[in-house]
């Protein structure tokens, strides 16, 4: 057998072998206990498009999430994401992490770019992003919050102009 063949066979056997490792196969969605008081259905809709796979108990597990080693990465992301911020466990003991949500979207750290490659629905247009950031601030509070007494009313367009992504 040529070396290249040996390498290929070795890889194939290795890939089959790691499928037996139990980690990454337990794709559970624990019960939804309570959700935050969303400021609007739109905020919730965008959240479920761009964030909920890792920050709720309503994860949609794609087919490749069952195949090692991708499954390990995905399981880790979901478990870590849920541990930090989980909108399905918004109970008096569980609900936290939201105060950083608007900031992560503003900075562009969330949703993770790798996720947006495989989930085009999570790519937000500029306008969606601005509306979402405002919605997150109104719902969860947090840094740079403009959710003051005027709060839930109409978005202020001028304000938005100044904060347009300069990054």
CB nearer ligand HEC, residue 84 or residue 152: 84
CB nearer ligand HEC, residue 51 or residue 137: 51
Query: Which residues form the interface with ligand HEC (CB under 6 A)?
Result: 50-51, 53-55, 77, 80-81, 84-85, 97, 100-101, 104-105, 110-112, 115
Residue 10 near residue 60 (C-beta atoms within 8 A) = no
Cβ-proximal residue to ligand HEC, closest one: 51
Give the contacts of 151 (CB within 8 A, at least 6 positions apart): 138
Residue 113 burial class via C-beta count within 10 angstroms: exposed 0-12, middle 13-18, buried 19 and up: exposed
- Whole-number minimum distance, CB 157 to ligand HEC, in Å? 22
CB nearer ligand HEC, residue 28 or residue 158: 28
Cα torsion 136, 138, 141, 147 to 10°: value is 130
CB nearer ligand HEC, residue 104 or residue 130: 104
């Amino acid at each position: 057998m040529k070396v290249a063949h040996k390498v290929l066979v070795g890889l194939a056997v290795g890939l089959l072998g790691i499928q037996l490792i139990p980690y990454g196969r337990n794709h559970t969605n624990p019960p939804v206990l309570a959700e935050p008081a969303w400021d609007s259905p739109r905020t919730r809709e965008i959240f479920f498009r761009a964030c909920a796979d890792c920050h709720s108990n309503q994860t949609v597990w794609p087919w490749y999430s069952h195949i090692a080693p991708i499954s390990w990465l995905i399981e880790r992301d979901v478990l870590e994401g849920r541990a930090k911020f989980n909108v399905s466990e918004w109970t008096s003991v569980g609900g936290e992490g939201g105060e950083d949500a608007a900031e992560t979207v503003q900075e562009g750290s969330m949703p993770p770019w790798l996720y947006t490659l495989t989930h085009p629905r999570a790519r937000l247009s500029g306008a969606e992003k601005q509306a979402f950031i405002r919605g997150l601030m109104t719902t969860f509070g947090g840094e740079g919050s403009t959710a003051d007494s005027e709060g839930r009313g109409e978005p202020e367009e001028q304000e938005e102009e100044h904060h347009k992504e300069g990054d």
